[in-house]
Chains A and B, each alone.
Chain A
Amino acid sequence: MNQPELIAQLQRGDESAFTRLVDEYQDLVYNTALGIVQNEEDADDITQEVFVQVYQSVSSFRGDSKMSTWLYRITLGKALDHEKKKKRKKRFGVMQRLFTGEREDGLTAAEFNHPGIQLEQKENAAALFYALKQIPENQRIAFTLHKLEGRSYQEVAEIMNTSLYAVESLMGRAKGNLKKELEKYYAR
Chain B
Amino acid sequence: MDKLVEAALGSFDNAARAEAKPYLLTRIRARMERGTESVWEKAGWFIGRPAVAFTGLCLVILINAMVFVFGNTPDKETKTEQVAQNPTDEFSYTVATIYDFENTQP
Q: Which residues of A contact B (CB under 8 A)?
A: 19, 22-23, 26-31, 34, 40, 43-44, 47-49, 51-52, 55, 88, 91, 114-118, 121, 124-125, 127-128, 131, 147-149, 175, 178-179, 182-183, 186-187
Q: By the criterion CB–CB under 8 Å, are B12 and A148 in contact? A: yes
Q: By the criterion CB–CB under 8 Å, are B17 and A28 in contact? A: yes
Residues of chain A lying within 8 A (CB to CB) of residue B1 = 183, 186-187
- Could you tell me the distance between the alpha carbons of A51 and B30 in the complex, rounded to whole angstroms? 12
Given known A178-B9, A182-B8, A183-B5, contact A115–B32 (CB-CB < 8 A): no
Main DSSP-derived SS at the A contact region: helix
Q: By the criterion CB–CB under 8 Å, are A51 and B28 in contact? A: yes
**Which residue of the partner chain B has the closest CB to A34?**
B18
Q: Interface range on chain B: under 10, 10 to 19, 20 to 34, or 35 or more?
A: 20 to 34
Q: By the criterion CB–CB under 8 Å, are A114 and B8 in contact? A: no
Q: Which residues of B contact A (CB under 8 A)?
A: 1, 4-5, 7-21, 24-25, 27-28, 31-32, 48-50
Q: By the criterion CB–CB under 8 Å, are B28 and A116 in contact? A: no
Number of residue pairs spanning A and B whose beta carbons lie under 8 angstroms apart: 96
Q: How far does the Cβ of A124 sit from chain B's closest Cβ, in whole Å?
A: 4
- Could you tell me the distance between the alpha carbons of A149 and B21 in the complex, rounded to whole angstroms? 18
- Could you tell me the distance between the alpha carbons of A165 and B27 in the complex, rounded to whole angstroms? 40
Q: By the criterion CB–CB under 8 Å, are A30 and B12 in contact? A: no
- Could you tell me the distance between the alpha carbons of A116 and B15 in the complex, rounded to whole angstroms? 5
- Could you tell me the distance between the alpha carbons of A29 and B15 in the complex, rounded to whole angstroms? 16
**Which residue of the partner chain B has the closest CB to A122?**
B11
Residues of chain B lying within 8 A (CB to CB) of residue A114 = 15, 18
**Which residue of the partner chain A has the closest CB to B1?**
A186
Q: How far does the Cβ of A47 sit from chain B's closest Cβ, in whole Å?
A: 6
Residues of chain A lying within 8 A (CB to CB) of residue B9 = 128, 175, 178-179, 182
Provide 11 A-B residue pairs closer than 8 Å at the C-beta atoms, listed in order of the A residue.
Answer: A27-B19, A30-B19, A44-B21, A44-B24, A48-B27, A51-B24, A117-B11, A125-B11, A147-B15, A179-B9, A182-B4
Given A48-B27, A116-B15, A117-B16, 15 more A-B residue pairs with CB atoms under 8 Å apart are A19-B25, A27-B17, A28-B17, A31-B18, A88-B48, A116-B16, A117-B11, A117-B12, A121-B15, A125-B8, A128-B12, A131-B8, A149-B17, A182-B4, A183-B1
Given known A147-B12, A182-B5, A182-B8, contact A55–B32 (CB-CB < 8 A): yes
Chain A to chain B: the 10 pairs with minimum beta-carbon distance, closest first: A124-B11, A116-B16, A30-B20, A125-B11, A147-B12, A26-B20, A121-B11, A124-B8, A182-B5, A31-B17
- Could you tell me the distance between the alpha carbons of A186 and B6 in the complex, rounded to whole angstroms? 12
Given known A44-B21, A186-B1, contact A118–B8 (CB-CB < 8 A): no
Q: How far does the Cβ of B6 sit from chain A's closest Cβ, in whole Å?
A: 9
